[in-house]
Structure formats: C-alpha cells, structure tokens
Amino acid sequence: MGGLGFRDLRLFNVALLGRQVWHLIQCKDTLCYKVLNAKYFSDGNIFFPKSMDKPSFSWQSIAQAAKLLSEGFEWTVGNGNSIRIWQDNWGFEGLSGDSICINKSLVKEVFVRYLLNESQDGWDKDRVSAIYGDFLGEKICNIPILHDGLEDRCSWFHNPHGVFYLKSAYSWLILKEIGLGPHRIFWRIIWRLKTLPKICIFCWRLGHNILPTYEKISSFRSGFNDTCPRCGKEKETLIHTLKDCPMAHKVLEFGGLDNKLLDGNYLRRVDWIEGAVRILDIKALSDFITGTIKINFDTSVHDKKAYYSLVARDADGFVLGEQTGYVNKDVHIELVELQAMEESIKFARSKNWKNVDLESDCASLVNRFNRRQEDLTMLGHRLGEIKKQSNIFSQFIFCWALRSCNEAADALCNWARTKNCCMVFNVDYPSYIHAIVLNDAIN
C-alpha cells in the first residue's frame, strides 16, 4: 500500500502499539506503567484490564492491541504467582483454562503456584494429573521451572529468544489474517535454489504431497489398486517411492548411500533428509589448538528417557575422559542438550582444565549461547547461569560442529541408551567407540 510494502496498515499499527504493550510488560518501574496500572489493570495483567466507562483513547488503542496480540505471548513458570490457570497462556502449546479436562467448578486453583509442591521447586503431580489428566499432566510435570523463587516471565512466543520485535509481530498478524501455513519461508527458499526449474517444482510438489502416487490416486478413484507397480508388495506412498521400494533402494545404493540410511525407519521425509545429511557429511574434526581440551557432547531421547554423553580429548585427539547419563523424563531435546552442556562444564571444572573448547551439533543452542542480546526464555535464563560458570576458565569457546565431527559422542550416547546407565570414564573408555576415536585421532 502506498508503495511502502505494507500489506495491511491496520495490522502494522497494531504491531506498533504492541511495542507499548511490551514496554508495559517489561518496564514496571516507569511512571507510565504505574499510572496505567493503578487505573486500568490493578492486578498487573495488561491482557485482562478492568471495564471503564470512559477510558482514554490512548489506553483504548493499547488495550485493543494487547487483546489482538495476547495469543502471541506466553509465560515461563517461576514462582507461579502471576500466571492465571484459566486465562494466561503458559507451559507448552499455550495451556489455558480450555485444557482442563474435569468439571471446571471443581477446580479451585486460580494461579499456577497452587500446582507446585510445597518447596516450590517442582510440580504437585497428583493435583496436576487430577486437573489435566494423566497424559497432559505428565507433560506439564516435565515443564522446567525457574528456581530460587524467581518471578514468572512473560515472553513473545514468535521469537526464539522471547523478545518482542515489530517485524515478527507484523508477520504473525499477517499470517493469521491471510491464513498462510508455517512452511511459507521454506517454499520461498525452494524457488531461489540455483538449479533446474523442474527440480524446484518437484520439491514443491513433494512437500505438498501432490505427486500422483497410486495411494494418492486411490483416495479419490474408487477401486484403484494402490500397490506399487515396481515391487508389487506395498502401497505406493511417497516415502515408499523415494526410499523403501527395492528399485529405489538399488538406485540409492548405486548412488553411494549405505544401509544405515536406507534401512532406517522414517515416518516423515524431513527425518530421512536429516539422516542423509548426517551420514553423507564426511568432514573430519577441525585441528586442535595446542593446550586446549576439546569436549564434544550429544543427546538422544528414547522411551520417555533422555540420554546424554560427553567425550573430552586432548590436542592429539586422544580421550582424556568420558561421561554418560540419563534423565528419567520425556523432555524437549534442546533441554537435554542444555543439560549435557552443563555436565560438560562440570566435568571440565572437576578436572581443573583451564582452556576448554566445547562443541555441539545443536546449532540453535550454540547460537543462543553466543548471542549477546537479551533472551527471556527458560533456555536463555539457564544459559546465562552457564556463562557465569564458564568465567572460571582461562579460555572458553562454545562452537557448532558437524554431525560427522560428533560421532564419538553420538556412539557413546547410543551405548549409554543400550546399557541404560550413568558412568564416568577416564582413558578406559568402552571398546564400542574405540574405532571411532582412533579414526578421529588419525584424521
């Protein structure tokens, strides 16, 4: 509109007013907040203000913007004093009163603090299960809590660091308005690939599941045989056509893919692509810095348990120590990566190492740690504590490593999952990973 590139000036204005909403949420010691708080939302919740006969035009605008943007904000649980069970979005997937499965008249709890245990450092599992049911209750009890009596934090859900930005707010409002799916940016990247147009079109059709497989045709043509015409054994689905069919299998084998990738059980195409990247990546470990101890760590989640491992090596690539462990919870993989990072730092401190180079193949965790801007999420809080702990080292670097550079830690993690154990090794590491360690040292 007007040549400025705005699709909707009304929504852009809402996003601009969202800055004021964010300012009121974060800066509670300002005169503006104290005046508006006393008059319009004395309980401190800007998203649910009091009804007034003649509110000011400025406040009406801010309140309307807060209402439209409320679904984009979420709460991180601290002491639970500020989060209303019935009204606020908190935890995962925006938990609110709509998630309660029993008769709401039987639920007397108003704030999340009533769902915490007596010491306020964990969840009251019995009460949570009674309100939300066993399945959802178990997931809620796995939600991490800000300890030491820290206050609840309100953050912007559509930014990985929880900080409100005008651009992300406007984009989110536009997506809500015109109903575009979450893969819009992915499709934009596809069309910018420097390759043949027919390959871009094929990727687009593949992602939208509109390729004419027999299974797809049978869904709208009665009596059509959906069996694969090449092997005649299974339905011709997309994943079968691309990977599981014996004919496709032979083509991929001829192309150089090994059986670990071809025989894996993948429900989604994106998981298979991830596996392909992992196996085909043949770049070796980077050169070691003299006097620096390099620690690689890795994680995995299996059967509601999260496993982690770390491998510490010297400048020649030989093992100085290893550790494995697990958490008896079904938690997000990024939180497990964070715990593995914490354990790696504890391990280095226990050995009194001064120069430490930490490596992980979790790019999002590395980017969060090295980012200097404010991070209001649970991960951001814990990474801030880790930064304080790392000050004890003379040199501390946390960087991203290719998956192929993390094979020793990955193999050790798989070993820990098989043995279901927590162990600490020095130079006497399991023979299961000896070949990988030796190969890394040679290369």
**φ, ψ (nearest 5 deg) of residue 55:** -70, 160
Task: State the chain's mean pLDDT as an integer.
Answer: 78
pLDDT in tens, 385-439: 888 888 888 889 898 888 777 788 888 888 878 877 788 877 666 766 767 766 6
Q: What's the distance, CA 236 to chain centroid?
A: 33
Q: Determine the average pLDDT of the residues in 240-252.
A: 82
In angstroms, what CA-CA distances link 176 with 15, 73, 99, 111, 170? 13, 15, 22, 29, 10
In this prediction, residue 442 has a pLDDT band, given cuts at 50, 70 and 90, of low
Q: How far is the C-alpha of 385 from the C-alpha of 366, rounded, in Å?
A: 15
**113 vs 132, residue with greater confidence:** 113
**Across 13-22, 318-327, 410-419, which has the greatest mean pLDDT?**
13-22
Q: Which of 22-26, 345-349, 379-383 has the lowest mean pLDDT?
A: 379-383
Tens of pLDDT, residues 39-54 = 998 888 888 888 888 8
**Res. 268 pLDDT band, cuts 50 70 90:** low
* Cα 397 to Cα 355: distance, rounded to the nearest angstrom: 9
Whether the per-residue pLDDT at 275 is higher than 60: the answer is no
H-state helical runs in 220-352? 238-239, 246-254, 259-262, 269-280, 333-350
Any idea how long the chain is? 443
pLDDT of residue 289: 36
Over residues 363-385, mean pLDDT: 81
What is the arithmetic mean of pLDDT over 365-378?
80
Q: Return the number of other C-beta atoms located less than 10 Å from residue 387's C-beta.
A: 12
pLDDT band at 257 (very low <50, low <70, confident <90, very high): low
Q: Where does the pLDDT of residue 35 fall: very low under 50, low under 70, confident under 90, or very high at 90 and above?
A: very high
Instruction: Give the least confident one: 67-76, 127-136, 155-164.
Output: 127-136
* Range 293-442 classified under CATH 3.30.420.10: yes
Question: Is pLDDT above 50 for 277?
Answer: no
In degrees and rounded to multiples of 5, residue 22 shows phi and psi of -65, -40
Whether residue 373 is predicted with pLDDT greater than 80 in this model: the reply is no
What is the C-alpha to C-alpha distance for residues 179 and 173, in angstroms, rounded to an integer? 10
Instruction: Detail the DSSP E strand segments found in 205-329.
Output: 293-302, 305-313, 319-327
Taking the CA atoms of the chain, what radius of gyration do you get in angstroms? 26
**pLDDT one-digit tens code per residue, 67-108:** 999 888 888 888 888 888 877 777 665 566 565 666 667 777
Residue 30 to residues 33, 34, 102, 164, 234, Cα–Cα distance (Å): 5, 6, 41, 19, 66
Q: What per-residue string of b and e applies to 121-134 under the rule 16 or more CB within 10 Å gives b?
A: eebbeebbbebbee
pLDDT at 181: 46
User: Tell me, what's the pLDDT at 14?
Assistant: 93
Max mean pLDDT among 4-13, 208-217, 271-280 falls in 208-217
In the chain, what are the domain boundaries?
A: 9-73+156-177, 78-151, 211-280, 293-442
pLDDT, average across residues 278-288: 40
Give the residue, 346 or 195, on which the prediction is more confident.
Answer: 346
Helix (H, G, I), strand (E, B) or coil at 393: coil
Report the pLDDT value the prediction gives residue 272, as an integer from 0 to 100. Answer: 57
Mean pLDDT is lowest, of 133-142, 176-185, 230-239, 346-355, for 176-185
Least reliable range by pLDDT among 157-161, 188-192, 278-282, 309-313: 278-282
Question: Global pTM?
Answer: 0.52
The kind and range of the H/E element at 415 are helix 407-419
Higher pLDDT, 380 or 348: 348
